[in-house]
Chains A and B, each alone.
Chain A
Amino acid sequence: MPDAPPIEVRGLVKRYGELVAVDDVDLAVEPGDVFGYLGPNGAGKTTSLRMMLGLIRPTAGSVRLFGRDPQESVAALDGVSGFVEAPSFYPYLNGRTNLELLAALDGDGSRARIEEALEIVGLSDRAKDRVGGYSHGMRQRLGLAAALLRRPKLLLLDEPATGLDPGGMRDMRNLIRDLSGQGITVLLSSHLLAEVEELCNRVAIVREGRVAYQGSLAELRRQAGSSYRLRTTDDERARQVGAAQSGIEDVDGAPGEGLTFRAASEAAVAGLSLALAESGAPVLELIPRHATLEDLFFQLTEGKDAAGAESPPEVVEEAA
Protein backbone atom coordinates (compact mmCIF):
# COMPACT_ATOMS: atom_id res chain seq x y z
CA MET A 1 0.00 0.00 0.00
CA PRO A 2 2.28 2.78 -1.20
CA ASP A 3 -0.35 5.46 -0.74
CA ALA A 4 -1.43 4.50 2.74
CA PRO A 5 -1.20 7.44 5.13
CA PRO A 6 1.68 7.59 7.63
CA ILE A 7 -0.71 7.10 10.53
CA GLU A 8 -4.26 5.91 10.51
CA VAL A 9 -5.80 5.15 13.87
CA ARG A 10 -9.36 3.95 14.21
CA GLY A 11 -11.43 3.43 17.31
CA LEU A 12 -8.36 3.00 19.47
CA VAL A 13 -9.14 2.04 23.06
CA LYS A 14 -6.88 1.09 25.95
CA ARG A 15 -8.50 0.09 29.18
CA TYR A 16 -6.69 -0.76 32.40
CA GLY A 17 -9.41 -2.36 34.49
CA GLU A 18 -11.84 0.44 35.22
CA LEU A 19 -9.58 3.14 33.87
CA VAL A 20 -10.00 4.08 30.24
CA ALA A 21 -6.67 5.60 29.27
CA VAL A 22 -7.47 5.97 25.58
CA ASP A 23 -11.10 6.16 24.56
CA ASP A 24 -12.11 5.60 20.97
CA VAL A 25 -9.43 7.68 19.30
CA ASP A 26 -9.41 8.22 15.53
CA LEU A 27 -6.41 9.94 14.01
CA ALA A 28 -5.31 10.55 10.47
CA VAL A 29 -1.83 11.92 9.86
CA GLU A 30 -1.05 12.81 6.27
CA PRO A 31 2.35 12.81 4.57
CA GLY A 32 4.28 15.96 5.37
CA ASP A 33 2.22 16.83 8.42
CA VAL A 34 3.76 18.07 11.59
CA PHE A 35 0.90 16.79 13.63
CA GLY A 36 0.48 18.00 17.17
CA TYR A 37 -1.01 15.55 19.63
CA LEU A 38 -1.91 17.99 22.29
CA GLY A 39 -3.38 17.47 25.70
CA PRO A 40 -2.72 17.87 29.38
CA ASN A 41 -0.66 15.30 31.25
CA GLY A 42 -2.64 12.13 31.77
CA ALA A 43 -4.81 12.61 28.70
CA GLY A 44 -3.56 9.33 27.24
CA LYS A 45 -1.06 10.72 24.74
CA THR A 46 1.81 8.44 25.69
CA THR A 47 -0.44 5.38 25.85
CA SER A 48 -1.63 6.15 22.32
CA LEU A 49 1.95 6.52 21.11
CA ARG A 50 2.93 3.23 22.71
CA MET A 51 0.10 1.52 20.86
CA MET A 52 1.19 3.17 17.62
CA LEU A 53 4.69 1.77 18.13
CA GLY A 54 3.41 -1.72 18.96
CA LEU A 55 4.63 -1.58 22.55
CA ILE A 56 1.24 -2.16 24.10
CA ARG A 57 -1.81 -3.93 22.81
CA PRO A 58 -4.95 -1.94 22.18
CA THR A 59 -8.07 -3.13 23.99
CA ALA A 60 -9.91 -2.31 20.79
CA GLY A 61 -9.34 -0.50 17.55
CA SER A 62 -6.48 -0.48 15.12
CA VAL A 63 -3.32 1.35 14.18
CA ARG A 64 -1.88 1.38 10.68
CA LEU A 65 1.47 2.94 9.87
CA PHE A 66 1.79 3.31 6.12
CA GLY A 67 -0.93 0.68 6.00
CA ARG A 68 0.83 -1.85 8.23
CA ASP A 69 -0.11 -3.09 11.68
CA PRO A 70 2.62 -2.61 14.31
CA GLN A 71 0.97 -5.24 16.51
CA GLU A 72 1.79 -7.90 13.96
CA SER A 73 5.45 -7.32 13.25
CA VAL A 74 8.18 -4.77 13.71
CA ALA A 75 8.23 -4.71 9.91
CA ALA A 76 5.40 -2.18 10.29
CA LEU A 77 7.99 0.15 11.83
CA ASP A 78 10.12 0.26 8.69
CA GLY A 79 10.69 3.93 8.09
CA VAL A 80 9.19 4.78 11.47
CA SER A 81 11.04 5.80 14.59
CA GLY A 82 10.66 7.90 17.66
CA PHE A 83 10.45 7.64 21.38
CA VAL A 84 7.87 7.55 24.14
CA GLU A 85 8.35 9.31 27.43
CA ALA A 86 11.95 10.08 28.21
CA PRO A 87 14.24 8.07 25.92
CA SER A 88 16.12 5.46 27.93
CA PHE A 89 19.49 3.88 27.37
CA TYR A 90 21.85 1.44 29.03
CA PRO A 91 23.48 3.63 31.66
CA TYR A 92 26.64 1.52 31.79
CA LEU A 93 27.35 1.94 28.08
CA ASN A 94 28.48 5.18 26.49
CA GLY A 95 26.30 7.17 24.14
CA ARG A 96 27.97 5.93 20.99
CA THR A 97 27.83 2.27 22.05
CA ASN A 98 24.14 2.66 22.85
CA LEU A 99 23.58 3.93 19.34
CA GLU A 100 25.73 1.13 17.90
CA LEU A 101 23.54 -1.39 19.68
CA LEU A 102 20.33 0.12 18.34
CA ALA A 103 21.82 0.44 14.87
CA ALA A 104 22.80 -3.23 14.99
CA LEU A 105 19.21 -4.12 15.86
CA ASP A 106 18.20 -2.16 12.77
CA GLY A 107 20.59 -4.29 10.75
CA ASP A 108 22.72 -1.31 9.84
CA GLY A 109 25.70 -0.60 12.06
CA SER A 110 27.23 1.97 9.71
CA ARG A 111 29.65 4.03 11.74
CA ALA A 112 29.26 7.05 9.51
CA ARG A 113 25.54 7.18 10.11
CA ILE A 114 26.03 7.00 13.87
CA GLU A 115 28.54 9.85 13.78
CA GLU A 116 26.18 11.84 11.60
CA ALA A 117 23.29 11.34 14.02
CA LEU A 118 25.50 12.36 16.96
CA GLU A 119 26.59 15.42 15.03
CA ILE A 120 23.02 16.45 14.22
CA VAL A 121 21.97 16.42 17.88
CA GLY A 122 25.24 17.95 19.03
CA LEU A 123 26.46 15.05 21.15
CA SER A 124 29.66 14.14 19.30
CA ASP A 125 31.83 15.47 22.12
CA ARG A 126 30.08 13.46 24.82
CA ALA A 127 29.51 10.26 22.86
CA LYS A 128 32.28 8.41 24.67
CA ASP A 129 30.83 9.12 28.11
CA ARG A 130 28.55 6.70 29.87
CA VAL A 131 24.90 7.54 29.48
CA GLY A 132 24.55 7.10 33.26
CA GLY A 133 26.21 10.50 33.58
CA TYR A 134 24.05 12.25 30.99
CA SER A 135 21.64 15.02 31.88
CA HIS A 136 18.00 14.66 30.98
CA GLY A 137 18.45 16.97 28.03
CA MET A 138 21.38 14.96 26.71
CA ARG A 139 19.34 11.77 26.89
CA GLN A 140 16.58 13.53 25.06
CA ARG A 141 19.01 14.46 22.31
CA LEU A 142 20.47 10.96 22.24
CA GLY A 143 16.89 9.70 21.87
CA LEU A 144 16.45 11.85 18.83
CA ALA A 145 19.78 10.63 17.43
CA ALA A 146 18.62 7.05 17.96
CA ALA A 147 15.43 7.85 16.07
CA LEU A 148 17.33 9.49 13.21
CA LEU A 149 19.52 6.40 12.76
CA ARG A 150 16.60 4.73 11.04
CA ARG A 151 16.31 7.50 8.45
CA PRO A 152 12.61 7.71 9.24
CA LYS A 153 9.81 8.82 6.98
CA LEU A 154 7.67 9.15 10.09
CA LEU A 155 8.87 10.35 13.47
CA LEU A 156 6.81 9.88 16.63
CA LEU A 157 8.09 12.16 19.35
CA ASP A 158 6.65 12.19 22.83
CA GLU A 159 7.15 15.53 24.56
CA PRO A 160 10.54 16.02 22.91
CA ALA A 161 11.27 19.33 24.60
CA THR A 162 10.45 18.22 28.13
CA GLY A 163 13.26 18.87 30.52
CA LEU A 164 15.30 20.88 28.04
CA ASP A 165 16.62 24.32 28.91
CA PRO A 166 15.37 27.19 26.73
CA GLY A 167 18.33 26.87 24.37
CA GLY A 168 17.81 23.14 24.11
CA MET A 169 14.11 23.64 23.42
CA ARG A 170 14.92 26.07 20.65
CA ASP A 171 17.43 23.64 19.14
CA MET A 172 14.92 20.79 19.34
CA ARG A 173 12.25 22.86 17.62
CA ASN A 174 14.62 24.01 14.92
CA LEU A 175 15.63 20.43 14.36
CA ILE A 176 12.03 19.26 14.07
CA ARG A 177 11.39 22.07 11.60
CA ASP A 178 14.45 21.00 9.60
CA LEU A 179 13.34 17.39 9.57
CA SER A 180 9.89 18.37 8.47
CA GLY A 181 11.50 20.47 5.75
CA GLN A 182 13.24 17.33 4.54
CA GLY A 183 9.86 15.72 4.04
CA ILE A 184 9.66 13.70 7.25
CA THR A 185 6.17 13.41 8.69
CA VAL A 186 6.18 14.15 12.40
CA LEU A 187 3.73 13.32 15.13
CA LEU A 188 4.58 15.38 18.14
CA SER A 189 2.86 14.85 21.46
CA SER A 190 2.97 17.79 23.75
CA HIS A 191 1.25 19.50 26.61
CA LEU A 192 2.87 22.76 25.57
CA LEU A 193 0.57 24.79 23.44
CA ALA A 194 3.27 27.19 22.31
CA GLU A 195 5.34 24.34 20.99
CA VAL A 196 2.48 22.93 18.97
CA GLU A 197 1.45 26.36 17.75
CA GLU A 198 4.99 27.02 16.58
CA LEU A 199 5.62 23.71 14.86
CA CYS A 200 2.44 21.99 13.82
CA ASN A 201 0.12 22.43 10.89
CA ARG A 202 -2.50 20.07 12.25
CA VAL A 203 -3.48 19.04 15.74
CA ALA A 204 -5.55 16.64 17.70
CA ILE A 205 -6.51 17.92 21.09
CA VAL A 206 -7.13 15.16 23.59
CA ARG A 207 -8.83 15.21 26.88
CA GLU A 208 -9.30 12.26 29.21
CA GLY A 209 -8.45 9.83 26.45
CA ARG A 210 -10.80 11.30 23.87
CA VAL A 211 -10.06 13.50 20.90
CA ALA A 212 -11.87 16.79 21.46
CA TYR A 213 -10.74 18.41 18.21
CA GLN A 214 -8.84 17.32 15.16
CA GLY A 215 -7.94 19.48 12.23
CA SER A 216 -5.77 22.41 11.24
CA LEU A 217 -4.87 25.10 13.72
CA ALA A 218 -6.22 27.76 11.34
CA GLU A 219 -9.53 25.96 11.20
CA LEU A 220 -9.61 25.69 14.97
CA ARG A 221 -9.09 29.44 15.32
CA ARG A 222 -11.74 30.12 12.72
CA GLN A 223 -14.27 27.80 14.27
CA ALA A 224 -13.80 29.35 17.64
CA GLY A 225 -14.97 32.62 16.14
CA SER A 226 -13.66 35.96 17.28
CA SER A 227 -14.58 38.05 20.19
CA TYR A 228 -14.74 41.84 20.27
CA ARG A 229 -14.49 44.52 22.83
CA LEU A 230 -17.01 47.34 22.51
CA ARG A 231 -17.39 50.72 24.14
CA THR A 232 -20.32 53.00 23.30
CA THR A 233 -21.87 56.15 24.68
CA ASP A 234 -24.52 53.99 26.38
CA ASP A 235 -23.34 50.50 27.23
CA GLU A 236 -26.63 49.43 28.78
CA ARG A 237 -28.52 50.22 25.63
CA ALA A 238 -25.77 48.67 23.55
CA ARG A 239 -26.15 45.46 25.53
CA GLN A 240 -29.83 45.27 24.68
CA VAL A 241 -29.18 46.03 21.03
CA GLY A 242 -26.40 43.44 20.89
CA ALA A 243 -28.53 40.78 22.51
CA ALA A 244 -31.24 41.34 19.91
CA GLN A 245 -28.89 41.43 16.92
CA SER A 246 -28.58 38.25 14.89
CA GLY A 247 -25.07 36.81 14.61
CA ILE A 248 -24.00 38.39 17.89
CA GLU A 249 -23.58 36.19 20.95
CA ASP A 250 -22.36 36.14 24.49
CA VAL A 251 -22.73 39.84 25.11
CA ASP A 252 -21.18 40.49 28.45
CA GLY A 253 -19.59 43.21 30.49
CA ALA A 254 -19.74 45.29 33.63
CA PRO A 255 -21.22 48.80 33.61
CA GLY A 256 -18.63 51.43 32.72
CA GLU A 257 -16.07 48.86 31.56
CA GLY A 258 -17.40 48.29 28.11
CA LEU A 259 -18.78 45.08 26.66
CA THR A 260 -17.46 41.95 25.07
CA PHE A 261 -19.27 39.82 22.53
CA ARG A 262 -18.65 37.12 19.98
CA ALA A 263 -19.62 37.48 16.38
CA ALA A 264 -20.35 34.79 13.85
CA SER A 265 -19.03 36.94 11.00
CA GLU A 266 -17.71 40.39 10.19
CA ALA A 267 -21.01 41.21 8.53
CA ALA A 268 -22.71 40.65 11.86
CA VAL A 269 -20.29 43.14 13.44
CA ALA A 270 -21.04 45.71 10.73
CA GLY A 271 -24.76 45.17 11.30
CA LEU A 272 -24.29 45.73 15.01
CA SER A 273 -22.44 49.00 14.57
CA LEU A 274 -25.23 50.31 12.32
CA ALA A 275 -27.89 49.20 14.77
CA LEU A 276 -26.00 50.88 17.61
CA ALA A 277 -25.80 54.18 15.74
CA GLU A 278 -29.50 54.02 14.95
CA SER A 279 -30.43 53.25 18.54
CA GLY A 280 -28.55 56.25 19.90
CA ALA A 281 -25.58 54.44 21.33
CA PRO A 282 -22.81 55.18 18.82
CA VAL A 283 -19.57 53.28 18.92
CA LEU A 284 -16.57 54.78 20.73
CA GLU A 285 -14.34 51.72 20.47
CA LEU A 286 -14.68 48.43 18.65
CA ILE A 287 -11.67 46.17 18.94
CA PRO A 288 -11.45 42.61 17.59
CA ARG A 289 -9.83 40.17 19.98
CA HIS A 290 -8.81 36.92 18.33
CA ALA A 291 -9.26 34.02 20.62
CA THR A 292 -5.89 32.73 21.64
CA LEU A 293 -5.21 29.09 21.14
CA GLU A 294 -4.69 28.92 24.86
CA ASP A 295 -8.31 29.90 25.45
CA LEU A 296 -9.41 27.21 23.04
CA PHE A 297 -7.08 24.68 24.53
CA PHE A 298 -8.40 25.22 28.01
CA GLN A 299 -11.93 25.29 26.74
CA LEU A 300 -11.39 21.95 25.03
CA THR A 301 -9.33 20.24 27.67
CA GLU A 302 -10.88 21.53 30.84
CA GLY A 303 -14.40 22.16 29.65
CA LYS A 304 -15.45 24.89 32.04
CA ASP A 305 -18.93 23.45 32.03
CA ALA A 306 -20.65 20.34 30.85
CA ALA A 307 -21.86 22.02 27.70
CA GLY A 308 -18.35 23.11 26.82
CA ALA A 309 -17.12 19.59 27.18
CA GLU A 310 -19.91 18.10 25.16
CA SER A 311 -19.84 20.55 22.33
CA PRO A 312 -16.41 21.87 21.50
CA PRO A 313 -16.22 24.39 18.64
CA GLU A 314 -16.81 21.64 16.18
CA VAL A 315 -16.80 17.91 16.39
CA VAL A 316 -13.82 16.00 15.12
CA GLU A 317 -13.50 16.03 11.38
CA GLU A 318 -14.31 12.88 9.52
CA ALA A 319 -11.43 10.44 9.56
CA ALA A 320 -12.62 8.88 6.32
Chain B
Amino acid sequence: MKPGVLTVYRWELRKLRSQKRTYLGLGAAAVVPLIFVVALVTRGGGPNDVAFGRYVHDTGLAIPLVLLLFGSVWMFPLITALVAGDIVAAEDRNDTLKGILTRSVERQQVFAGKALATLSYAVLAIAVTGAVALVAGILASGFNPLVSLSGTRISAISGLGLVGASLLVYLIPIAAIACIGLLLSTVFRNSGAAIVGTLMFSLLVQLVGILPGLEGLHPYLLSTQYNAWQGLLRTPVDWAPILRAAWVCALYALPALAAASLVFLRRDVAGD
Protein backbone atom coordinates (compact mmCIF):
# COMPACT_ATOMS: atom_id res chain seq x y z
CA MET B 1 0.00 0.00 0.00
CA LYS B 2 1.33 3.39 -0.92
CA PRO B 3 1.65 5.55 2.19
CA GLY B 4 0.07 8.98 2.12
CA VAL B 5 -1.56 11.70 4.18
CA LEU B 6 -3.78 9.19 5.98
CA THR B 7 -0.78 7.13 7.03
CA VAL B 8 0.88 10.21 8.47
CA TYR B 9 -2.39 11.31 10.09
CA ARG B 10 -2.91 7.94 11.74
CA TRP B 11 0.60 7.98 13.16
CA GLU B 12 0.35 11.59 14.29
CA LEU B 13 -2.72 10.59 16.31
CA ARG B 14 -0.79 7.63 17.66
CA LYS B 15 2.01 9.94 18.73
CA LEU B 16 -0.46 12.36 20.33
CA ARG B 17 -1.96 9.44 22.25
CA SER B 18 1.47 8.71 23.70
CA GLN B 19 2.28 12.22 24.87
CA LYS B 20 1.48 13.81 28.21
CA ARG B 21 0.71 17.21 26.72
CA THR B 22 -2.25 15.74 24.89
CA TYR B 23 -3.79 14.61 28.16
CA LEU B 24 -2.88 17.88 29.81
CA GLY B 25 -4.98 19.70 27.21
CA LEU B 26 -7.84 17.22 27.18
CA GLY B 27 -7.72 17.00 30.99
CA ALA B 28 -8.09 20.77 31.24
CA ALA B 29 -10.92 20.62 28.73
CA ALA B 30 -12.69 18.16 31.03
CA VAL B 31 -11.80 19.61 34.42
CA VAL B 32 -12.67 23.25 33.76
CA PRO B 33 -16.40 22.58 33.20
CA LEU B 34 -16.43 20.31 36.25
CA ILE B 35 -14.93 23.00 38.45
CA PHE B 36 -17.33 25.52 37.01
CA VAL B 37 -20.35 23.35 37.81
CA VAL B 38 -19.08 22.45 41.28
CA ALA B 39 -18.60 26.16 42.01
CA LEU B 40 -22.12 26.92 40.77
CA VAL B 41 -23.62 24.24 42.95
CA THR B 42 -21.66 24.99 46.08
CA ARG B 43 -21.57 28.79 45.95
CA GLY B 44 -24.87 29.54 44.27
CA GLY B 45 -25.17 32.75 42.23
CA GLY B 46 -23.74 32.82 38.74
CA PRO B 47 -22.25 34.96 36.01
CA ASN B 48 -25.22 37.21 35.42
CA ASP B 49 -23.43 39.65 33.14
CA VAL B 50 -22.85 37.25 30.25
CA ALA B 51 -25.27 35.72 27.80
CA PHE B 52 -27.03 32.69 29.33
CA GLY B 53 -25.30 33.40 32.65
CA ARG B 54 -28.69 34.01 34.23
CA TYR B 55 -29.97 30.58 33.33
CA VAL B 56 -27.17 28.39 34.66
CA HIS B 57 -29.37 27.29 37.57
CA ASP B 58 -32.42 26.78 35.37
CA THR B 59 -31.00 24.43 32.78
CA GLY B 60 -27.83 22.47 32.22
CA LEU B 61 -27.93 23.53 28.57
CA ALA B 62 -26.73 27.01 29.59
CA ILE B 63 -23.50 25.67 31.10
CA PRO B 64 -21.58 24.77 27.91
CA LEU B 65 -22.66 28.06 26.34
CA VAL B 66 -21.34 30.12 29.24
CA LEU B 67 -18.11 28.13 29.11
CA LEU B 68 -17.72 28.93 25.42
CA LEU B 69 -17.86 32.60 26.33
CA PHE B 70 -15.33 32.32 29.14
CA GLY B 71 -13.11 29.84 27.37
CA SER B 72 -12.52 32.09 24.39
CA VAL B 73 -10.37 34.50 26.40
CA TRP B 74 -7.48 32.11 26.80
CA MET B 75 -8.52 28.60 27.78
CA PHE B 76 -9.45 27.20 24.39
CA PRO B 77 -6.69 29.07 22.55
CA LEU B 78 -4.23 27.64 25.06
CA ILE B 79 -5.56 24.09 24.82
CA THR B 80 -5.43 24.33 21.04
CA ALA B 81 -1.95 25.85 21.01
CA LEU B 82 -0.65 23.14 23.31
CA VAL B 83 -0.72 20.69 20.44
CA ALA B 84 -0.68 23.02 17.41
CA GLY B 85 2.42 24.79 18.68
CA ASP B 86 4.18 21.54 19.36
CA ILE B 87 3.35 19.30 16.45
CA VAL B 88 6.17 20.44 14.18
CA ALA B 89 8.49 21.83 16.83
CA ALA B 90 8.49 18.47 18.62
CA GLU B 91 10.11 16.94 15.57
CA ASP B 92 12.84 19.54 15.84
CA ARG B 93 13.20 18.90 19.57
CA ASN B 94 13.55 15.17 19.04
CA ASP B 95 15.50 15.64 15.78
CA THR B 96 13.14 13.14 14.18
CA LEU B 97 12.29 14.99 10.97
CA LYS B 98 15.32 13.54 9.23
CA GLY B 99 13.93 10.09 9.99
CA ILE B 100 10.41 10.59 8.71
CA LEU B 101 11.39 12.73 5.72
CA THR B 102 13.68 10.04 4.34
CA ARG B 103 10.94 7.42 4.10
CA SER B 104 8.34 7.18 1.34
CA VAL B 105 6.08 10.13 2.16
CA GLU B 106 6.55 13.57 0.65
CA ARG B 107 6.94 16.61 2.84
CA GLN B 108 3.55 17.98 1.87
CA GLN B 109 1.94 14.72 2.96
CA VAL B 110 3.71 14.90 6.31
CA PHE B 111 2.55 18.47 6.76
CA ALA B 112 -1.03 17.71 5.77
CA GLY B 113 -1.14 14.76 8.17
CA LYS B 114 0.10 16.97 10.97
CA ALA B 115 -2.41 19.73 10.19
CA LEU B 116 -5.25 17.20 10.20
CA ALA B 117 -4.10 15.72 13.50
CA THR B 118 -3.91 19.21 15.03
CA LEU B 119 -7.47 19.97 13.96
CA SER B 120 -8.69 16.59 15.18
CA TYR B 121 -7.25 17.25 18.59
CA ALA B 122 -8.90 20.69 18.71
CA VAL B 123 -12.25 19.13 17.75
CA LEU B 124 -11.83 16.54 20.47
CA ALA B 125 -10.94 19.17 23.08
CA ILE B 126 -14.03 21.23 22.32
CA ALA B 127 -16.16 18.07 22.26
CA VAL B 128 -14.80 17.01 25.64
CA THR B 129 -15.57 20.39 27.19
CA GLY B 130 -19.02 20.40 25.61
CA ALA B 131 -19.83 16.86 26.72
CA VAL B 132 -18.56 17.26 30.27
CA ALA B 133 -20.27 20.64 30.62
CA LEU B 134 -23.54 19.20 29.34
CA VAL B 135 -23.50 16.12 31.54
CA ALA B 136 -22.39 17.99 34.65
CA GLY B 137 -24.70 20.88 33.88
CA ILE B 138 -27.73 18.65 33.36
CA LEU B 139 -26.95 16.76 36.56
CA ALA B 140 -26.70 20.05 38.47
CA SER B 141 -29.42 22.18 36.85
CA GLY B 142 -31.59 19.70 34.96
CA PHE B 143 -32.46 19.09 31.33
CA ASN B 144 -34.83 22.01 30.98
CA PRO B 145 -35.86 24.36 28.19
CA LEU B 146 -33.58 27.27 27.35
CA VAL B 147 -34.43 30.92 26.79
CA SER B 148 -32.97 32.17 23.50
CA LEU B 149 -31.15 35.48 23.08
CA SER B 150 -34.33 36.78 21.46
CA GLY B 151 -36.25 35.86 24.60
CA THR B 152 -38.10 32.91 23.09
CA ARG B 153 -38.38 29.54 24.76
CA ILE B 154 -36.46 26.66 23.21
CA SER B 155 -37.38 23.11 24.15
CA ALA B 156 -34.69 21.09 25.88
CA ILE B 157 -34.29 18.76 22.90
CA SER B 158 -33.93 21.61 20.38
CA GLY B 159 -31.67 23.35 22.86
CA LEU B 160 -29.41 20.30 22.95
CA GLY B 161 -29.15 20.36 19.16
CA LEU B 162 -28.37 24.08 19.23
CA VAL B 163 -25.66 23.60 21.85
CA GLY B 164 -24.08 20.96 19.60
CA ALA B 165 -24.31 23.28 16.61
CA SER B 166 -22.81 26.11 18.67
CA LEU B 167 -19.84 23.94 19.51
CA LEU B 168 -19.38 23.28 15.81
CA VAL B 169 -19.49 26.98 14.94
CA TYR B 170 -17.06 27.62 17.78
CA LEU B 171 -14.62 25.34 16.01
CA ILE B 172 -14.25 27.86 13.18
CA PRO B 173 -12.14 30.38 15.12
CA ILE B 174 -10.47 27.55 17.01
CA ALA B 175 -9.34 26.08 13.69
CA ALA B 176 -7.87 29.49 12.79
CA ILE B 177 -5.97 29.52 16.08
CA ALA B 178 -4.74 26.00 15.34
CA CYS B 179 -3.40 27.15 11.96
CA ILE B 180 -1.59 30.06 13.57
CA GLY B 181 -0.13 27.69 16.17
CA LEU B 182 0.99 25.41 13.36
CA LEU B 183 2.67 28.32 11.60
CA LEU B 184 4.53 29.42 14.72
CA SER B 185 5.50 25.82 15.46
CA THR B 186 6.95 25.49 11.97
CA VAL B 187 8.73 28.83 12.01
CA PHE B 188 10.03 28.88 15.60
CA ARG B 189 10.86 25.15 15.73
CA ASN B 190 10.37 25.54 19.46
CA SER B 191 7.25 24.39 21.27
CA GLY B 192 7.38 26.87 24.12
CA ALA B 193 7.82 29.86 21.84
CA ALA B 194 5.08 28.65 19.51
CA ILE B 195 2.57 27.98 22.29
CA VAL B 196 3.20 31.28 24.05
CA GLY B 197 3.26 33.07 20.69
CA THR B 198 -0.11 31.64 19.70
CA LEU B 199 -1.62 32.62 23.01
CA MET B 200 -0.11 36.10 22.81
CA PHE B 201 -1.53 36.51 19.33
CA SER B 202 -4.95 35.50 20.55
CA LEU B 203 -4.80 37.91 23.50
CA LEU B 204 -3.42 40.80 21.44
CA VAL B 205 -6.22 40.49 18.92
CA GLN B 206 -8.69 40.72 21.78
CA LEU B 207 -6.92 43.78 23.15
CA VAL B 208 -7.12 45.48 19.77
CA GLY B 209 -10.85 44.93 20.08
CA ILE B 210 -11.13 47.11 23.17
CA LEU B 211 -9.02 50.01 21.87
CA PRO B 212 -11.08 53.15 21.33
CA GLY B 213 -11.44 54.31 17.76
CA LEU B 214 -10.92 50.85 16.33
CA GLU B 215 -14.54 49.76 16.58
CA GLY B 216 -14.64 49.53 12.80
CA LEU B 217 -12.18 46.65 12.96
CA HIS B 218 -14.32 44.76 15.39
CA PRO B 219 -16.19 42.52 12.94
CA TYR B 220 -12.88 41.39 11.43
CA LEU B 221 -11.03 40.47 14.58
CA LEU B 222 -10.50 36.80 15.28
CA SER B 223 -11.76 37.30 18.83
CA THR B 224 -15.13 38.53 17.60
CA GLN B 225 -15.68 35.26 15.77
CA TYR B 226 -15.73 33.36 19.06
CA ASN B 227 -19.23 34.74 19.56
CA ALA B 228 -20.55 33.82 16.13
CA TRP B 229 -22.40 30.79 17.52
CA GLN B 230 -24.76 33.16 19.32
CA GLY B 231 -26.46 33.71 15.97
CA LEU B 232 -27.83 30.18 16.32
CA LEU B 233 -29.54 31.06 19.56
CA ARG B 234 -31.68 33.82 18.14
CA THR B 235 -35.13 33.41 16.62
CA PRO B 236 -35.02 33.42 13.74
CA VAL B 237 -31.45 32.16 13.45
CA ASP B 238 -29.04 34.93 12.51
CA TRP B 239 -26.64 33.41 10.00
CA ALA B 240 -24.73 36.64 9.32
CA PRO B 241 -22.16 36.34 12.13
CA ILE B 242 -21.62 32.67 11.30
CA LEU B 243 -20.98 33.39 7.64
CA ARG B 244 -18.71 36.23 8.59
CA ALA B 245 -16.82 33.98 11.02
CA ALA B 246 -16.29 31.52 8.20
CA TRP B 247 -14.65 33.95 5.82
CA VAL B 248 -12.89 36.11 8.42
CA CYS B 249 -11.36 33.02 10.02
CA ALA B 250 -10.38 31.72 6.60
CA LEU B 251 -8.52 35.00 6.09
CA TYR B 252 -6.49 34.24 9.21
CA ALA B 253 -6.18 30.51 8.79
CA LEU B 254 -5.42 29.99 5.11
CA PRO B 255 -2.46 32.38 4.80
CA ALA B 256 -1.04 30.97 8.04
CA LEU B 257 -1.47 27.43 6.76
CA ALA B 258 -0.01 28.29 3.37
CA ALA B 259 2.98 30.04 4.92
CA ALA B 260 3.55 27.16 7.34
CA SER B 261 3.43 24.56 4.60
CA LEU B 262 5.75 26.61 2.40
CA VAL B 263 8.28 26.94 5.20
CA PHE B 264 7.98 23.24 5.96
CA LEU B 265 8.43 22.23 2.34
CA ARG B 266 11.42 24.44 1.72
CA ARG B 267 13.28 24.30 4.99
CA ASP B 268 16.63 22.65 5.50
CA VAL B 269 16.50 19.81 7.97
CA ALA B 270 19.88 20.39 9.56
CA GLY B 271 21.10 19.44 13.00
CA ASP B 272 20.55 22.69 14.89
Complex: A97 Cα to B14 Cα, angstroms: 10
Q: Please determine whether A50 and B104 come into contact, CB atoms closer than 8 angstroms.
A: no
> A298 on the interface (CB 8 Å rule)?
no
Q: Please determine whether B271 and A77 come into contact, CB atoms closer than 8 angstroms.
A: no
Max chain A C-beta neighbours (<10 A), residue from B1, B2, B99, B271? B99
Q: Please determine whether A93 and B15 come into contact, CB atoms closer than 8 angstroms.
A: yes
Q: How many residues of B contact A (CB 8 A)?
A: 29
Within 8 A of A (CB), among B220-272: 266, 268-271
Complex: A57 Cα to B8 Cα, angstroms: 23
Q: Please determine whether B268 and A56 come into contact, CB atoms closer than 8 angstroms.
A: yes
Q: Which residues of B have CB within 8 Å of A46?
A: 271
- The interface-forming segment of B52-60, B90-98, B139-147 is B90-98
Q: Please determine whether B94 and A91 come into contact, CB atoms closer than 8 angstroms.
A: yes
Complex: A89 Cα to B104 Cα, angstroms: 17
Binary per-residue interface labels of chain A (80-118) against chain B in the complex, 1 for a CB within 8 Å, 0 otherwise: 011111111111110001000110111110000000000
> B18 on the interface (CB 8 Å rule)?
yes
Within 8 A of A (CB), among B1-20: 1-3, 7-8, 10-11, 14-15, 18-19
Look across to chain B and name the residue whose beta carbon is closest to the beta carbon of A131: B94
Within 8 A of B (CB), among A105-152: 105-108, 146, 150
Instruction: Determine the interface band of chain A, counting residues with CB < 8 A from chain B.
Output: 35 or more
Q: A88-B96, A105-B104 are in contact. List 14 more A-B contacts (CB 8 A).
A: A50-B269, A55-B102, A57-B266, A74-B102, A82-B102, A87-B99, A89-B99, A90-B96, A93-B18, A101-B100, A104-B7, A105-B7, A105-B8, A105-B100
Binary per-residue interface labels of chain B (83-112) against chain A in the complex, 1 for a CB within 8 Å, 0 otherwise: 000000000001111111111111000000
> A182 on the interface (CB 8 Å rule)?
no
Chain B: minimal CB distance from A48 (Å) = 12
Q: Which residues of B have CB within 8 Å of A73?
A: 106
Which of B97, B104, B269, B270 is A107 in contact with, Cβ under 8 Å? B104
* Also in contact, A83 and B2, with CB within 8 A (given A93-B15, A104-B7): no
Q: Please determine whether B98 and A83 come into contact, CB atoms closer than 8 angstroms.
A: yes
Binary per-residue interface labels of chain A (39-60) against chain B in the complex, 1 for a CB within 8 Å, 0 otherwise: 0000000110010011111000
Q: Which residues of B have CB within 8 Å of A97?
A: 14
Q: Please determine whether A92 and B100 come into contact, CB atoms closer than 8 angstroms.
A: no
Max chain B C-beta neighbours (<10 A), residue from A82, A83, A92, A150? A92
Which of B2, B7, B96, B270 is A56 in contact with, Cβ under 8 Å? B270
